[in-house]
Structure 1
């Protein structure tokens, strides 16, 4: 029973078939001038247009990347380097994914000024804090849509309205955990740059995308043959592009947020009956992510206990879960010390069943029973 869909998803067989078909039938280099190259280029551009349409914002430009990490790096570094003549002040939050946080830390070493906005106990960043942090020399604000560890949904529409009405800054949002689920949404305003990843939506790994508005100036961070509008050199993998477009179409048609929300509500009520458990971000979380902290044990102990019963969950972000220290997100939302090292993340997927939810609950009851007997401390 797999409850770790926020770490990665099993590729959909239809997506894999698209990848294979494109690999065989559209193998030519899309930069080539001959007939096969032009034919492959048409498929590439069709995939690009489909992904931009699936995002649902007024974003007309898109760059294919090797994943969410590269997309975040290109969005931030590419924008900052191209626009540093306008200012050197940047804003982000304290609970971003490492592929965002570490980029800003690197920029600080290059004498940019970065404000790291705090989050409340549910992981929410205050719109008032965003507005207060804006300065005349602010050029970029980067705040994720859905947190990868605790599932907090940020009010990115409100952030965009504040940023666009109060400054000249652009707004980037890491939407890796929301694309195809909470994005697109009915936004009157939204980010100027959006990043996403295929393997979170039943696509293929090493496939990502950066979407941005037409008037955005970017600078490449990888140099070579000048592919992808001279912003991301290297021969474009058209099979990856086509399969990402396929995954985006499928999840838009098939994602069942209502069912996920029902399961999440059920589990919140279930975990709340145990004093040994603390649900993180119960009100602000996405329907498909639930983080729970256990008192007096580590997340690793809980994971191993559940794993022995055929249940797969994770401790936090899979990108850094091998680090045994408390994550920066858990520290930022000030989880009590007794619970901070006992966090597990449960994330739902399209093949989940209610029966699996019930089996998860039964396994947790067994774990709580052992904790009350003093086992596993």
Structure 2
């Protein structure tokens, strides 16, 4: 049985070119980048080249890139770093109800530390209102954190418009771009973003590495102490092989972004057309025109998310849901709750399909046909 992986929004397989580059470094370059001898200098050179590539990919300066262990650390570093650095100017933070838990849980922790957080609501496609943001802004607002693209339903937020609103305000602007990076065209200067978080394993790079872009005007209290790595902003010996792998993944993503976007948009169209050819009921969570091309979240009335996931897995198809299934109970997706309310049936019948570089049209057709069969069987 062919196994089909359609959970690329959770994590992606490493690209063969990435593995090759990492193996080359692991086999030949083991020096500590902080050492001054030739082995250390070679390792440092690899990091410098990677930093240059990553900075260029978002229109940033090299000294504005901080390597991290991934998106969660990058988000945490941004929120706690800014909060501690600018609390003398105010203790009010604005975010949204649909953020990744790396942001939401950090905000909840900041509330316990005496900060006030406003959680902006979203409409039924998962988008915030710019009027709501403007109304929520106060003189003592020091940080606004709005994700670029949602990891569950794919909805893109109006990042550029938010940046325009914040141009004349003291608040720093942070965006979690973990899901959007490599798929959307991102330039931090055009967007007026001050901090931006990215993770390598979402773009066919290795797990355990990422970066935080920090505009050079932004003060950031570090979260890790020990060494003077990353210009004293993030202590700890750098993972050279992973960083080189990250660099290669970014190069590939830059080369193939437009082709990949078109391919994924085509997959969405085929998937929906194939489902619609069957006598089943389904609806899209979000709006296709305002979402990232590789994420498709569908609601299947009359089904149960756990039964759907189990049946699809038995058919060799790996997908995900907006719900975390643990010990037979369902924790409703906070994203779907924000979009549709706590009483909506979509909370218990929605599935996320997400595509990647090794997804084929045949796999999309097979998954759509198998999904239709399972839905038909479960709703009889």
TM-score computed with the length of structure 2 as normaliser? 0.92
Out of 118, 121, 133, which is 2:121 matched to?
A: 118
Q: Label 1:195 to 1:100 Cα distance change in 2 as closer, same or farther (>3 A).
A: same
CA shift, 1:266, in A, is 3.3
- Counterpart for residue 93 of structure 1: 96
Instruction: Write out per-residue CA displacement over residues 28-83 of structure 1, whole angstroms, 9 at most, x where no aligned residue.
Output: 11111222212221211111111111123578511111111111111111111111
- Counterpart for residue 245 of structure 1: 247
Note the 1:207-286 alignment, pairs <5 A.
207-255=209-257, 256-271=260-275, 276-283=281-288, 284-286=290-292
User: Is 1:19 matched up with 2:26?
Assistant: no
Q: In 1, distance between residues paired with 2:131 and 2:59?
A: 26
Q: Which moved more, 1:274-283 or 1:137-146?
A: 274-283
Secondary structure at the aligned position of 2:320 is classed as coil
- Counterpart for residue 54 of structure 1: 57
Count residues in correspondence.
Answer: 370
Asked if 2 retains the 8 angstrom alpha-carbon contact of 1:60 and 1:211, the reply is no
CA shift, 1:282, in A, is 2.6
- Counterpart for residue 307 of structure 1: 313
Q: In 2, distance between residues paired with 1:73 and 1:56?
A: 23
Asked if 1 retains the 8 angstrom alpha-carbon contact of 2:69 and 2:209, the reply is yes
Asked if 2 retains the 8 angstrom alpha-carbon contact of 1:65 and 1:207, the reply is yes
Q: Which moved more, 1:19-28 or 1:51-60?
A: 51-60
CA shift, 1:321, in A, is 5.2
- Counterpart for residue 326 of structure 1: 332
Note the 1:150-169 alignment, pairs <5 A.
150-165=153-168, 167-169=169-171
- Counterpart for residue 71 of structure 1: 74
Secondary structure at the aligned position of 2:167 is classed as helix
Segments of 5+ residues of structure 2 without an aligned counterpart are none
Q: In 1, distance between residues paired with 2:62 and 2:173?
A: 12
TM-score computed with the length of structure 1 as normaliser? 0.93
Q: Which moved more, 1:75-84 or 1:308-317?
A: 308-317
Segments of 5+ residues of structure 1 without an aligned counterpart are none
Secondary structure at the aligned position of 1:188 is classed as helix
Q: In 2, distance between residues paired with 1:13 and 1:63?
A: 26
User: Is 1:296 matched up with 2:302?
Assistant: yes
Q: In 2, distance between residues paired with 1:365 and 1:219?
A: 51
Q: In 2, distance between residues paired with 1:187 and 1:74?
A: 21
User: Is 1:345 matched up with 2:348?
Assistant: no
- Counterpart for residue 33 of structure 1: 36
Q: In 2, distance between residues paired with 1:236 and 1:186?
A: 25
Q: Which moved more, 1:320-329 or 1:348-357?
A: 320-329
Secondary structure at the aligned position of 2:5 is classed as coil
User: Is 1:177 matched up with 2:179?
Assistant: yes
Q: In 2, distance between residues paired with 1:62 and 1:186?
A: 12
- Counterpart for residue 293 of structure 2: 287
Q: Which moved more, 1:80-89 or 1:262-271?
A: 262-271
Secondary structure at the aligned position of 1:358 is classed as helix
Secondary structure at the aligned position of 2:298 is classed as strand
Asked if 1 retains the 8 angstrom alpha-carbon contact of 2:5 and 2:318, the reply is yes
Q: In 2, distance between residues paired with 1:188 and 1:249?
A: 21
Secondary structure at the aligned position of 2:318 is classed as coil
Q: In 2, distance between residues paired with 1:61 and 1:5?
A: 28
Q: In 1, distance between residues paired with 2:173 and 2:63?
A: 15
Q: Label 1:35 to 1:13 Cα distance change in 2 as closer, same or farther (>3 A).
A: same
Q: Which moved more, 1:154-163 or 1:363-372?
A: 363-372
Q: In 1, distance between residues paired with 2:228 and 2:58?
A: 25
